[in-house]
Amino acid sequence: MNKDFFTSYGLRIGAEEMIKEIIYFIKSDDKKRYKIIIGSDSEGYAGDNVDFATAIVIHRVGCGGRYFWRRVKLGRFHTLRDRIIQEVMLSLEVAKETLLNLKSFDAPNFDFEIHVDVGENGETRTVIQEVLGIIRAYNFEAKTKPQSYVASKVADRHV
């Protein structure tokens, strides 16, 4: 799987460079509160391929933020549940890598969330408890629709 990310401007950068950008962004105004939020979304296309986009947002609470994203194409998914679970697993993979890298670069304090593109309305309501359980098993805080803007808005732009 490609480990490179893209900036919001579409520039390709490596994971290490992205971590340095996040740390620089936090240190440039270290009096503010920060949240690092990860979310994934997917879109099925003809030929049974599914595109998955994962976004990492560094939110300077009350003052905007920056984001990075990457996309992967995976094969066939027979059910919506399988696709949602794959979105969660991609978010968790990126979350673990990102946190490990941030710790190795001695990042300043921040809050951390995983956003999931599921909600109480629509088809995805049946998998909410399952995906929240998976995320909580990794000790991450999870948000669902309508609070899960990183998955449902930011990552959605790139699938």
Predicted confidence at residue 2, as pLDDT, reads 62
pLDDT along the chain (159 residues), means of 10: 86 96 95 97 83 97 97 88 96 96 90 96 93 97 97 95
Three-class SS of residue 9? coil
DSSP letters for 83-126: HHHHHHHHHHHHHHHHHHHHHHTT----EEEEE-S--SSSGGGG
Predicted confidence at residue 75, as pLDDT, reads 83
Architecture in CATH for domain 5-158: 2-Layer Sandwich (3.30)
What are 66-102's pLDDT values in tens digits? 999 999 998 888 889 999 999 999 999 999 999 999 9
Q: Please report, for the chain, the start and end positions of each structural domain, with discontinuous segments joined by +.
A: 5-158
Beta bridge partners of 67: 57
Predicted confidence at residue 6, as pLDDT, reads 97
Beta strands at 111-115 and 34-44: parallel, antiparallel or unpaired: parallel
Residue 74: Cβ within 10 Å count: 14
What angle is formed at CA 66 by the lines to CA 53 and CA 142, rounded to 5 degrees? 60
Residues in the chain: 159
Three-class SS of residue 4? coil
Residue 102: CB partners within 8 Å, gap ≥ 6? 19, 22, 23, 36
